[in-house]
């Protein structure tokens, strides 16, 4: 079956000969979303077993080939910029055994390379354009181009990896012409040697964090549901603080809406802290570890790797039940889930009620947090995920 687990073997020595071209928009130090985090750790784990060449958007990096645009090209619609970059990348993929692209930005590089060099193309589905109509706010008519690019690449790909079973169902729903046998569920992972409980009282003091607090970590985009959380927080007990690690807005409209909502809360409370710039990983880990509750109000989420990060830091999670989140957050064991029907008011009211209840029950939060770290360690190893991915590669060669 397309969603059956697979494992790698090197009995014939073929892993040493395999060379994969991994194509991504995000690569450190410019990682701003879950897809970028996924690519970083997947690449590191893959490189323990096979040869992996990283091709990324932007300036060259010590460990990746970067592709920069001219000043004229940078003035184009973002979707056009992506296609130009994809063409540049594809020109340098001759000689790899297989190309593996991540997100629609990079998918056409894989599609072009497959067509030019007759090599397999694997796509990891981190999100789907048909399920994100608000992207038109972000890139205007480019959304029609990104939708075309994704559909074209998906329907010709040799295999598609969905980061959750929920995402696999979404892929098949969005693109019904796909052969289900080509769509495989291989979950995201977490490095629990990096993400583990770590305190930093000086950081909390410097940011002005005091008393018990909940935390949100994510980009400012419609799908992350931050506006819903900010509305819900208006009726949360004022003794509970809120830390928002929220930046990289998709477009000016959502940026202004979020900023206004945060300022309204800060006018009434002195314990709402907004970290608007990309925080260092160590600071995020410390803030997650110090929090009593992690909040994930996403209205669209293929998996939600940040929930895994919070769980690994032994922090309880309160999240929506969309997409692949229920495959990560075990309801009533590592945290709790709020049902999202598409209606804002009941969703926000439910978040308010559960935040107040959970923040007032420290024993339950501690229990959820401890169970979350155990689950992250036991079920979301990056090495196991890399071996599953390599086995899929081998099946295509």
Cβ neighbours, 10 Å, residue 361: 14
Query: How far is the CA of 12 from the CAs of 17, 20, 181, in angstroms?
Result: 10, 18, 26
Averaged pLDDT, 23-33: 91
pLDDT score for 121 = 98
pLDDT for 11 equals 52
Mean pLDDT for the stretch of residues 9-35: 83
Domains of the chain: 14-189+381-396 (3.40.50.2000), 201-379 (3.40.50.2000)
Question: Residue 139: which pLDDT band, with cuts at 50, 70 and 90?
Answer: confident
Per the model's pLDDT, the better-predicted residue between 20 and 13 turns out to be 20
Q: What percent of the chain has pLDDT over 70?
A: 96
Per-residue pLDDT, averaged over 169-177, amounts to: 96
- Per-residue pLDDT at 149 exceeds 80: yes
Structure confidence by residue, pLDDT tens digits, 268-294:
999 999 999 889 999 999 999 999 999
Banded pLDDT at 2 (limits 50, 70, 90): very low
Residue 388: the pLDDT is: 94
Look at residue 4 in the predicted model and tell me its pLDDT. Answer: 42
What number is the average pLDDT over the span 126-146?
A: 85
* pLDDT tens sequence across 339-365: 999 999 999 999 999 999 999 999 999
Q: What are the CB-based long-range contacts (under 8 Å, 24+) for 92-96?
A: 92/55, 92/65, 93/21, 93/23, 93/55, 93/117, 93/119, 95/19, 96/19, 96/20, 96/21, 96/53
pLDDT band at 10 (very low <50, low <70, confident <90, very high): low
pLDDT in tens, 193-218: 999 999 999 999 999 999 999 999 99
Q: Residue 278: CB partners within 8 Å, gap ≥ 6? A: 32, 247, 248
d(CA 289, CA 302): 24
Residue 5 or residue 307, greater confidence = 307
Query: How confident is the model at residue 115, as a pLDDT?
Result: 98
3-class DSSP assignment, residue 99: strand
Q: What average pLDDT does range 126-139 have in this prediction?
A: 81
Which single residue is written with the structure tokens 């329907």?
Answer: 155
135 — pLDDT class (breaks 50, 70, 90): confident
Tokens, residue 54: 């990283």
Predicted confidence at residue 349, as pLDDT, reads 98
- Mean pLDDT, the chain, as a whole number? 93
Q: What percent of the chain has pLDDT over 90?
A: 83
Q: Region 309-315: what's the mean pLDDT?
A: 97
């Amino acid at each position: 079956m397309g969603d059956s687990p697979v494992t790698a073997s090197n009995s014939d020595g073929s892993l040493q000969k395999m060379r994969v071209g991994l194509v991504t928009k995000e690569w450190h130090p410019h990682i701003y979303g879950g897809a970028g985090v996924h690519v970083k750790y997947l690449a590191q784990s893959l490189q323990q077993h096979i040869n992996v060449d990283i091709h990324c958007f932007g300036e060259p990096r010590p460990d990746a080939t970067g592709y920069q645009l001219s000043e004229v090209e940078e003035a184009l619609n973002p979707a056009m910029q992506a296609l130009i970059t994809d063409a540049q990348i594809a020109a340098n993929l001759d000689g790899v055994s297989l190309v593996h692209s991540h997100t629609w930005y990079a998918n056409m590089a894989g599609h072009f390379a497959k067509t030019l060099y007759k090599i397999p193309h694997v796509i990891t589905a981190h999100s789907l354009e048909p399920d994100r109509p608000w992207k038109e706010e972000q890139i205007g008519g480019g959304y029609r181009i990104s939708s075309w690019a994704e559909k074209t690449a998906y329907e010709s790909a040799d295999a598609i990896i969905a980061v959750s079973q929920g995402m696999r169902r979404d892929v098949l729903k969005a693109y019904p012409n796909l052969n289900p046998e080509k769509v495989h569920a291989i979950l995201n992972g977490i490095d629990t040697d990096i993400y583990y409980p770590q305190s930093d009282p000086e950081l909390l003091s410097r940011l002005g964090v005091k008393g018990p607090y909940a935390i949100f970590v994510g980009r400012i985009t419609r799908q992350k549901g931050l506006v819903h959380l900010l509305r819900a927080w208006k009726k949360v007990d004022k003794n509970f603080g809120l830390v928002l690690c929220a930046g990289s807005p998709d477009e000016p409209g959502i940026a202004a809406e979020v900023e206004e909502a945060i300022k309204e809360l800060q006018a009434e409370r002195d314990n709402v802290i907004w970290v608007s710039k990309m925080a260092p990983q160590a600071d995020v880990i410390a803030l997650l570890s110090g929090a009593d509750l992690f909040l994930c109000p996403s209205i669209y989420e293929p998996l939600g790797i940040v929930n895994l990060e919070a769980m690994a830091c032994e922090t309880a999670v309160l999240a929506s039940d969309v997409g692949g989140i229920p495959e990560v957050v075990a309801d009533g064991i590592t945290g709790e889930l709020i049902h999202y029907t598409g209606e804002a008011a009941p969703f926000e009211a439910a978040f308010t009620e559960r935040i107040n209840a959970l923040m007032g029950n420290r024993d339950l939060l501690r229990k959820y947090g401890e169970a979350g770290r155990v689950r992250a360690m036991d079920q979301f190893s990056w090495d196991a995920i890399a071996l599953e991915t390599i086995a899929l590669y081998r099946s295509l060669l």
